Amino acid sequence: MNDAERTAREYDAMAGDYAADNAKSAYNAYYERPATIALLGDVQGLKVLDAGCGSGEVSTWLVDHGATVTAFDVSPAMVELAQRRLGDRATVLLADIAEPLSFASSGEFDLVVASLVMHYVYDWTATLQELHRVLHRQGRVVFSTHHPTMDWQAHSLEDYFAITKVTETWSKGTGSFVVTFWRRPLTAMCHAIARAGFVIEQLVEPEPLKSLADRDPTAYANIRTKPRFLFFALRPSPWSD
C-alpha cells in the first residue's frame, strides 16, 4: 500500500470525527487555521488551490473572502464532506498531492494553500515542483506541517536528521484511529523547497489565539511554549525556470 492509499484509508475511517474535532479543537481552530489564514493575506479575486482540503474549513474561509477555489483531497470521505459544505461555491476534486495534478494547467493559480498535508508526503521535492508548475509566476504557496522538533522528541530521538515514517493513534470523537505520516528535519524541508524552485518568504512559529487561554488554559500554555506546527510562505525563486 502506498502513502496515498494508506492516508485515504486512514482519513476515510475517521472523516466525520476528524472534521468535528477540526472545527473546534485547540490545535486547529485556535492555532493552525488562524496562523495559516494570517499568511494568506487578501484573497479577494484570487484563483486559489486548496491542496489537501479535508472537510473544507480553509476553502470555506477562502470563498467567503472572495477567492475562486479549486480544492482537492486524497480521501473520498473528506471530499464528500467538503462538497457537502461548499456546494457550488467551489470545485472539489479527488486527487493525490503526491501525483501530477492533471486537472490544473501551468500557471493557473495565484495562491496554493496546503494545511497540514505535507507530512503525509515522502518526496517533498516532486510535490513542490508540481505546485510550482500550477502556480502563477507572481504567486505564493502557503503551507503548514508538523514541527520537526515535536515529532523528533516523540518518535526520533536517536536521529533528528532521519526522515522517518511515524504511526500514531489519535482519539477523535468516540474512536481511536491509526494515522501514518513522515517526519523530517528542517534542513530536509528547506532543501526540498529550494530544489523545487522556491524561496522562503516567511517561516513562522506562531502562538495560539489568546482566546484559547480562557477556553482551555492547559492547551494554551502547552502550545505557546512548545512548537507544534511550522508555517511557510513561499514564492517562486527569481532564478527558477
Q: 99-155, pLDDT tens digit by residue?
A: 999 999 999 999 999 999 999 999 999 999 999 999 999 999 999 999 998 877 777
Which domain range does residue 100 map to?
A: 3-236
Mean of all residue pLDDT scores within the chain: 95
Non-local CB neighbours of 46 within 8 Å, separated by 6+ positions: 66, 67, 68, 110, 111
The 10s digit of each residue's pLDDT in 67-83 is 999 999 999 999 999 99
> Within a domain: residue 241?
no
Number of domains in the chain: 1
Q: What is the CATH number of the domain that holds 109?
A: 3.40.50.150
Beta-strand relationship, 198-204 and 229-236: antiparallel
Is 73 a member of any domain?
Answer: yes
* pLDDT at 240 (0 to 100): 65
Sign of CA dihedral 14, 17, 22, 27: negative
Look at residue 241 and tell me whether its pLDDT is greater than 70.
no
Q: Give strand pairing partners of 71.
A: 50, 92
